[in-house]
Amino acid sequence: VSIPAAVRDPSLGFDSNTYVLPRTGGQGVPLVSVNYESAKLELLRINGRNLIRQITDGRFLRVLDGYDRNDIANNLGETVWKGVVEIESKPNQRVVTAVPIYQILPSTQPGVYLLLAAPPEQTQADDWAQQATQWLIVTDMGMTSMSGADGLNLFVRSLQDGEALRKVEVNLIARNNGILASTETDRDGLAHFDSGLLRGEGGREAVAVVASRKDGYFAFLDLTQAAFDLS
């Protein structure tokens, strides 16, 4: 007697909270699904300055619901693309589909992008439910910071070849969205901020470092997250 396999509930999601997508290599964003043949996608963008509110409100890297989505699309950013991705579904099996970001975004602007995925049958009444969310930035700039008694040292290197990137504009941003200090990386890709700038309180607390180049590359570090303790 054969026993039919249990039918798994349909699901959509993204694999991780990793949010840096290298500009080179043509990788797609992996969409993970079970028992779906297609998914509705929407790509939102938040500009670099409005990103700080996402960090201070605790929204960054969080799964969004319909309220969050509407707030970003209508107030803090914009919708840059909508479409449907076809999925080579296999009954009851986990399927990974690469969403071709480089076809959707042949060029990028400074800021952070959010890719949302929803079931094809989702109606407007369901829009307030949580949606599969992938935060991402498309960049060639990798950032590493080290803080100590002398302040904050930030290194900016190419993700493609590891070379130091010079003359990258770097801003230290406060909780109130003000710029505490601005500098450029030197020939070693190093930018330095004095320790006094890191002792601000309230709205003057340093919460992020934002780097940008004239070619549109953009990167940032969230200073409110726990760092590695190498002491």
Element (H, E) at 131: none
pLDDT tens-digit series, residues 13-29: 998 777 888 776 667 89
pLDDT tens-digit series, residues 157-188: 998 899 999 999 999 999 999 999 999 999 99
- Letter for the amino acid at 203? G
Structure confidence at residue 127 (pLDDT): 63
pTM, two decimals, is 0.84
pLDDT tens-digit series, residues 94-134: 999 999 888 888 788 888 999 999 998 876 656 678 889 99
29-34 and 20-22: which strand pairing?
unpaired
SS3 content of the chain, % helix, strand, coil (to 5): 15, 45, 45
Q: What SS3 class is residue 85? A: strand
20-22 and 132-139: which strand pairing?
parallel
* β-sheet bridge partners, residue 137: 20
